Amino acid sequence: MMCLYRLLRWNENPENGLLAKNPNSNVSVEEHVTNGSYGRASRYISCCKSLDAARSFASHSVTRPRIIVEILIDAKTVIDLTDEETRSILVQNETGRNYARCFEEVLIEGYIPPECISIAQIIN
């Protein structure tokens, strides 16, 4: 099992699980990481590998309260962009690589069931 963290969007409720914005999207890992919420809706759900990285990401958010959840998930089901080799293969541009490195980004495809999610921290 792998422990990850995610800053919830204003419209996400962990009791319902977390669903990618568009589970059928063909957006690439590189496009998702580089453009984030400002790009096209993707099938990936971005998470951070550490609580500190999630807090750092949350510090840029204007949403209040900022809710960070802990996610326990099978490591075989993720795309771990904290691995330098994986990151360099999947994310060619420097902007995307920097985002992935800075926020210790790990991607989950599609859906995270509610039983995998718990509240880690609420920041007002």
Confidence (pLDDT) at 40: 83
CATH number of 2-123: 3.90.210.10
Reported as a pLDDT band with limits 50, 70 and 90, residue 39 is: confident
DSSP, collapsed to helix, strand or coil, labels residue 33 as helix
**Phi, psi of 45, deg, nearest 5:** -115, 120
* 78-122: pLDDT as tens digits: 999 999 999 999 999 999 999 999 999 999 999 999 999 999 999
pLDDT of 108 reads 98
Are the C-beta atoms of 80 and 15 separated by less than 8 Å? no
Q: What is the pLDDT of residue 41?
A: 92
Mean pLDDT of the region 34-60: 93
pLDDT at 28 over 80: yes
